[in-house]
Structure 1
Amino acid sequence: MALDVPLGRLPSASSSGRAFARFPWHIAFLVLAISATGIWNLASASRSAHAPVWISQMWWMAGGATLALAIALLDYRTFLRVGYVFYAGVVLLLLAVLVKGRLVMGARRWLTVGPINFQPSELAKIAVLLALARYFHYDLDKRRDGYGLFTLAIPMAITLVPAVLILKEPDLGTALIVVAVGATMILFAKVKWRTLALVGCVGLAGSVFAWPHLKPYQRKRVETFLNPEGDSLGAGYHATQSMIAVGSGQALGKGWGQGTQTLLSFLPEQHTDFIFSVWAEEHGFAGCALLLLLYYALVTAALTVAGNARERFGHFVAVGVTAMLFWHAFINMGMVTGVLPVVGVTLPLMSYGGSSVIAVYFGVGLLANVGMRRFVN
């Protein structure tokens, strides 16, 4: 894996035509397959709702696919140059959310521009991976012996600044994803073992310190995870109904549109955070295995792009996108099956949400860009 190509040899805009000949169609197929599955599942999940959200999701996905194609065709050096600028812009948007964001159920997570509401926290994932990829592109040569605690200060700050702002909205789930993406990219840099152990201890101590500062409902979610039957009609209701839905699907499921947990509205947030529960109830173990296979293939293909990247910046961008896809799917499926606490994380391309769809397609466009330009000078 050659990761030491200098900046001057990065692909130029004139090479876009030759690069497109190497477009990763297998990744495009997997993304479109999951997207189509998501729309089909949303049509069932929202059949008892007032609005057919699957139609809105189709428009968001069409816009996301257009964005991904445009990003894939851009000059590769653009993302290296604007990484910090994009990051700074997203941090400013996160600050604007805390000041002027739309208040919904006690949380400020959305900015409103005309008829569109969007979550800057979704863009924070892209901002962090681009900023870290730029940082490691230039800095890694200086750390032949690996990163120590003090030399990790800047990468950790890049990760934690947006994560803390998102946590203040509050949005624990998205903040965890941002930290997971940043931490994964840092681990792919050369970090000393004793530094990893020390960071782990600091993280554990930080969790203990942060516990009393969490919102009451956030603490209740963790307590309910440890004892879901303790408050099955209160804080544990979401997790309990989700596990009932997943288990009732059995081997082959009840069939599309036949999920009683969904139809009778027992399953809360069924078109967003708990969309996997709808799929599991209606398509059973077989359907879940198929969906897991699609995600596995996508993550594996993304890792292959990272491993074959022709230079360091592309390698870390692909690692960041892979981490974003993996941690979203892992945490969402874990929380709806009772393996992890309910923290409000969406399932990529399955859950309803325009901002989430745009962020995922943005990442896919970056991934395609890296893969297309592996052999282009």
Structure 2
Amino acid sequence: MKSLIAAVTGARLGSRPALGRREPIWQRIHVDPWLLLLILVLATVAGFVLYSASGMNMALLYRQAAAYCVGLAVMLVIAQFQPRFMERWVPAAYILCVLLLVAVELVGVQAKGAQRWLSIPGLMRFQPSELVKLVMPMVVAWYLARHALPPTLKSICITLAIILVPVVLILKQPDLGTSLLVAIAGLFALLMAGLRWRYIIGALLLLAPLATAMWFFVMHEYQKRRVLTFLNPESDPLGAGWNIIQSKAAIGSGGVFGKGWLQGTQSHLDFLPEGHTDFIIAVLAEEFGLVGVCLLLVVYLLIIARGFYITLQAQDTFSKLLAGSVTLTFFIYVMVNIGMVSGILPVVGVPLPLISYGGTSLVTLLAGFGILMSIHTHRKWMVQR
């Protein structure tokens, strides 16, 4: 029992702080104050922008606030567990995720032409693929930490197989955007392990034939239309190109300082679809202008910088790989959302992290920050293997 308590709390038996010294409160509850402060800043921004983007819908705002409360609670709970304790449970979490994805295929709930959700009668409906985003870098870090680094060809092949199983199941839902993000999360952990350049160059050379194969054998018609619309949105201005055209119009109309809070026209006159979810940064750009977008990007960059600092401070291989991949994955979420809303990337249905409306993705992201906090605040209790 004592060893289990020590594993969960991260405290070695018999260890005590030095006499006359008392740890700060955030250290005792395993919270990184800088990350928490930046998250709360984004939560405040999200409240203002969502209120405007949703047409002053207070019910939606209350639901998002409730999701934030749940996410912060999950973040704090995860932060209490020592990375070693989490590492032991990673294989079971991965198997559970695969089983949930299989359950989606068999008995999942359909909505808008996709089968991506599981429903618990009388309680909730959730999307298992969101959980996979969190577990994927953990299981890759867990596997690679137990083998020689940089990874050998055998280790790379096994890692790719670990990544491929959930990715294929998510592709069948179909959900191309989430499957790509899950794959990227795992590949980042592999990259952080010191992948040799010959393997990286070989993978880049395979991208063209792989993309061709996906176009003809994997992608659905609506996904192909998204890519073609990205290349030329004006070819179908009232159909597939409508979202991108209106999004760019909203961003451009905001100018440098914006039109003012609640004064946006593209969103309030319903020209901009999905203004409170995937395209919410277009609402922010219209109402707060270039200055508002730049300030938001500064907050994101500070979060990413803090994540890399925690990665550098991590004391074992599993923690380093996991912290680095979680941070890089968060960066990709930001980059992909802003890129697709501004017309630089195809629309793949990725929400703006911690700003867009959506409970499951929000809780998953905050759980990832809980992992970062755990890695950072449990450092001094680490015992060398």
TM-score by length of 2: 0.90
CA contact (8 A) 2:7 2:81 kept: no
Other-structure match for 2:285 = 280
Letter of the structure 1 residue corresponding to residue 146 of structure 2: Y
Matched with 1:30 is 38
Provide structure 1 residue ranges, at least 5 long, that are not aligned to the other structure: 1-9
Q: Distance in 1 between matches of 2:8 and 2:130?
A: 29
Tell me if 1:104 matches 2:111.
yes
**Distance between the aligned counterparts of 1:150 and 1:205, measured in 2?**
23
Shift of 1:20: 2.7
**Which residue pairs with 1:69 in the alignment?**
76
For 1:126, the equivalent position in structure 2 comes to: 134
Q: Is 1:156 aligned to residue 163 of structure 2?
A: no
**From 342, 361, 368, the counterpart of 1:356:** 361
Q: 1:257-300 CA deviation, whole Å, 9 max, x = no partner?
A: 11111111111111111111111111100000000000000011
Q: CA RMSD in A?
A: 1.8
CA positional deviation for 1:147? 3.0
**Contact 2:10-2:81 at 8 Å conserved across structures:** no
> Structure 1 vs Structure 2: percent identity of aligned residues?
38
Q: Find the aligned partners of 1:324 and 1:117 in 2 and give their Cα distance.
A: 25
Q: Is the 8 A contact 1:20 1:73 kept in 2?
A: no
Q: Which residue of 2 is the match for residue 95 of structure 1?
A: 102
Are the counterparts in 2 of residues 43 and 52 from structure 1 also a CA contact under 8 Å?
A: no
User: Distance in 1 between the 2:166 and 2:210 partners?
Assistant: 17
Quote the Cα distance in structure 2 between the aligned partners of 1:313 and 1:151.
15
Q: Please say if 1:209 is aligned against 2:205.
A: no
TM-superposed CA distance for 1:76, in Å, is 2.8
Aligned partner of 1:235 among 210, 219, 240: 240
Deviation per CA, 1:89-109: give whole Å up to 9, x if none: 011111111221111111011
Instruction: Specify which of 40, 47, 53 is matched with residue 55 of structure 2.
Output: 47
Label 1:164 to 1:154 Cα distance change in 2 as closer, same or farther (>3 A): same
Instruction: Provide the TM-score with structure 1 as the length reference.
Output: 0.92
SS in structure 2 of the partner of residue 234 of structure 1 = coil
1:13 aligned onto 2:9: yes
Q: Distance in 2 between matches of 1:265 and 1:296?
A: 31
Give 1:22 shift.
6.4
Aligned-partner SS, 1:109: strand
Residues 11, 376 of structure 1: 8 Å contact kept: no
Residues of 1 paired with 2:190 and 2:46: CA distance?
Answer: 31
1 CA distance for matches of 2:207 and 2:163?
14
Compare CA radii of gyration and give the structure with the larger one: 2
Where 2:266 maps in the other structure, the secondary structure is helix
Shift of 1:66: 0.6
Tell me the CA shift for residue 52 of structure 1.
Answer: 3.0
Give the letter aligned to residue 351 of structure 1: S
1:365 to 362, 370, 374: 370
Map of 1:128-207 to 2, 5 A cutoff? Answer: 128-139=136-147, 142-143=148-149, 146-207=150-211
SS in 2 for 1:289: helix
SS state of the match for residue 354, structure 2?
coil
Contact persistence 2:188–2:328 (CA under 8 A): yes
Distance in 2 of aligned mates of 1:156 and 1:125: 15
Q: Deviations over 1:31-84 (max 9, x none)?
A: 1111221122111111166x7312101001101101100110123322110111
1:91-140: per-residue Cα shift (whole Å, max 9, x none)? 1111111221111111011111234221111111111011011112111x
Mark the CA change 1:24 to 1:151 in structure 2 (over 3 Å): closer, same or farther: same
Instruction: Please say if residues 188 and 329 of structure 2, whose CA atoms lie closer than 8 Å, have aligned partners that are also in contact.
Output: no
CA distance 1:13–1:102, shift in 2 (3 Å):
same
Determine which structure has greater relative contact order: mean sequence separation of CA pairs < 8 Å that are 6+ residues apart, divided by chain length.
1
* 1:262 pairs with one of 264, 267, 274: 267
Render the CA deviation track for 1:193-212: whole Å, top value 9, x for unaligned: 11111122223311110101
1:318 aligns with 2:307: no
Q: What SS does the aligned partner of 2:117 have? A: strand
Matched AA of 1:275: I
Contact 2:314 2:379 in 1 (8 A): yes
In the alignment, residue 28 of structure 1 is paired with which amino acid? L
What is the deviation of 1:11?
A: 6.5
Q: Residue type of the partner of 2:276?
A: H
2:124 to 112, 116, 124: 116
Stretch deviating more after TM superposition (291-300 or 314-323):
314-323
* Aligned-partner residue type, residue 97 of structure 2: V
